[in-house]
A and B are shown apart, each in its own frame.
Chain A
Amino acid sequence: MNVQQVIFISFALVTVFAAIMVVSLRNLFHAALWLIVALLGVASIFALLGASFFAAVQILVYIGAIAILLIFAVMLTRNIMSDETTQTNRAWGLAVILVVVIFFIIVSQISTWSGFSQPLTDLPLSGQESILALGKGFVSPNGFALPFETASVLLLAALLGGVYIAMDREKE
């Protein structure tokens, strides 16, 4: 067991624990904070994978924007949920069973693939190379310019949509 594996396992355990906390806690604010932890864990996994750009993006976008947004929403709807009523609905037992079963199925099935056990070594790239390639890919017409532009349209739509939907009509 070398260093990389130890680092990986610890980060993985943190992430999984944080995820479990997210889905279990009654107090939503706490759940949101645990979500942030989980996202951080995921960012670290990204970094381990050599996708450092994405680690940064994860922190910026997910934690800096999405998680904050979630916290806002929690705050805005806070008074309603009392802490005594159950947080889970009545199907939780079945869900647990299902989830576990599916987990085992997934793992057993993907382990039949030959490349499953391929050890991942460090990439012979510098960090800049991949980002450059990504940047070029985003804007070249032979590459992924179209999805990029479409994604920006999607964001515009989401922006407008979000504003419109959440607008307070009575105050017009």
Chain B
Amino acid sequence: MVSLSWYLILAAALFLIGVYGVIVRRNSIAILMGVELMLNAVNINILAFWHYHTQLNGVVNVSGMVFAAIVIIAAAAEAAVGLALIISVFRRKNSIVAAEMNVLKG
């Protein structure tokens, strides 16, 4: 039997790989890919717990599914807007290196 712990550990690993990608990669689009990884890990987590709860209670747990659905929706929206932003920035600065987006430097 696959215990809950395996899913959680998988989700954690995936999440942290996404974190690594966000922090380390220079290309903005690569950062976005990291963000997608993180969101997916979160989804795994949510659905794991959904299964757990449904299994325990015997009744379908709607909120878990809704949550996961919303996460997907949000991820989609965010990816769209984020890429639009990157394209726009690319048009101005001709670069998508995240380290060069430092106009807010203090």
- With a cutoff of 8 Å between Cβ atoms, the chain B residues found around residue A117 in the complex are 3-5
A92 to B26, CA, bound (A): 11
- With a cutoff of 8 Å between Cβ atoms, the chain A residues found around residue B95 in the complex are 80
A137 shortest CB reach to chain B, Å: 4
A136 to B34, CA, bound (A): 33
- With a cutoff of 8 Å between Cβ atoms, the chain A residues found around residue B96 in the complex are 77, 80-81
Other-chain residue from B3, B14, B74, B97 in contact with A15 (beta carbon distance below 8 A): B14
Other-chain residue from A53, A61, A119, A136 in contact with B3 (beta carbon distance below 8 A): A119
Other-chain residue from B2, B37, B50, B94 in contact with A5 (beta carbon distance below 8 A): B2
Interface of A (DSSP majority class): helix
B2 shortest CB reach to chain A, Å: 5
A39 to B79, CA, bound (A): 15
A48 to B27, CA, bound (A): 34
Closest to A168 in B: B91
Q: A-B pairs with CB below 8 Å: how many?
A: 264
Other-chain residue from A77, A99, A116, A138 in contact with B66 (beta carbon distance below 8 A): A138
A129 to B36, CA, bound (A): 29
B24 shortest CB reach to chain A, Å: 5
A interface residues (Cβ-Cβ under 8 A, vs B): 2, 4-5, 8, 12, 15-16, 19-20, 22-23, 28, 31-32, 35, 38-39, 42, 45-46, 48-51, 53-54, 57-58, 61-62, 65-67, 69-70, 72-74, 76-77, 80-81, 85-89, 91-92, 95-96, 98-99, 102-103, 106-107, 110-111, 115-121, 123-125, 129-130, 133-134, 136-138, 143-144, 147-148, 151, 154-155, 157-159, 161-163, 165-166, 168
